[in-house]
Amino acid sequence: MRKVFQAELHQIGEGLIEISSLVIDAIEKSTTAFAAADLQAAQEVIAADARIDFLQNDLDERAIDVLALQGPVASDLRMIVGSLRMSASLERMGDLARHISQLTRLRYPNNVIPAPLVETFAEMARQDIIIARKVSELLDSRDLELASEIAAAKTEINKLHKTVFSAMGAPDWAETPATTVDVTLASRYFERFGDHGVSVARKVSYLVTGEWQPEEFLAG
């Protein structure tokens, strides 16, 4: 019975890694589509999000079954409850990649972002991709140095997010209301993607150490 239980825990862990790999693909493809106004790539991200949703639901059902049937305690209980929360964060990261692609589709054939902010969003995209890749690696390795690197990338996103709002509040901002809304939404999507990555990192840190990182870790 114990071997079966450990096999179930392993499958849950592997399920998280599988979802995280799909999140990497989603954010890489969505940000590429966003930068290039690539409608086909955006449509692919939107369609592929259903797979992430399915895997999250499947993982959550298996985790709940283990809770109900095995009665885990101590570190095993932390693992299962943490997995439920991490799967929700990963699913939300997939949703945010989808939202970015939906903005791309909405404004096609035009770009969403005006020229003065293109480089800012390109760097936000780069940092989000770093976070997605390191989250997947962290789930596999439990190397907490990666958690610190995820938090550092989120700090950079926070700075970029602030510069976007500073640009929109500047006297020389002359974009249309529609563009202003698009930029606001896009910046928020990029920023929140990083937040959920840090949330996963904090939960892995808790699983490894048994202690919660302070809120400053999440804030970057």
Query: Are 143 and 137 within 8 A, CB to CB?
Result: yes
Nearest to 68 by CA among 82, 80, 54, 86: 80
Look at residue 209 in the predicted model and tell me its pLDDT.
87
Q: Please say if the pLDDT value at position 5 is more than 90.
A: no
Q: pLDDT (tens digit, 9 = 90+) per residue, 125-146?
A: 999 999 999 999 999 999 999 9
Residue 153, both tokens: 């990338």
Look at residue 215 in the predicted model and tell me its pLDDT.
56
Half-sphere exposure of 57 (CA within 13 A, CB side): 6
Question: What's the CA gap between 15 and 173, in Å, rounded?
Answer: 45
Query: What pTM does this model have?
Result: 0.94
Q: Please say if the pLDDT value at position 219 is more than 50.
A: no
Rg (CA), the chain: 19
Q: pLDDT (tens digit, 9 = 90+) per residue, 39-71?
A: 999 999 999 999 999 999 999 999 998 888 877
The one-letter amino acid code at 216 reads: E
The one-letter amino acid code at 34 reads: F
Residue 52, both tokens: 């992430």
Coil, strand, or helix at residue 171? coil
Residue 167, both tokens: 């640009």
Average pLDDT, the chain: 93
- Across the range 188-195, mean pLDDT stands at 98
Q: Quick one: angle between helices 2-36 and 39-70, nearest 10?
A: 160
Sign of the C-alpha dihedral computed for residues 87, 88, 93 and 95 taken in this order:
positive
Question: What's the CA gap between 94 and 51, in Å, rounded?
Answer: 10
Q: Please say if the pLDDT value at position 188 is more than 60.
A: yes
Half-sphere exposure of 93 (CA within 13 A, CB side): 34
* Helix locations, 108-173, DSSP H: 118-141, 144-168
3-state SS string for 14-52? HHHHHHHHHHHHHHHHHHHHHHHCCHHHHHHHHHHHHHH
* Count of positions (residues) in the chain: 220
What class is the 2-219 domain?
mainly alpha
Residue 159, both tokens: 């700075």
| Range scoring the smallest mean pLDDT among 74-78, 85-89, 94-98, 167-171 | 74-78
Look at residue 220 in the predicted model and tell me its pLDDT.
44
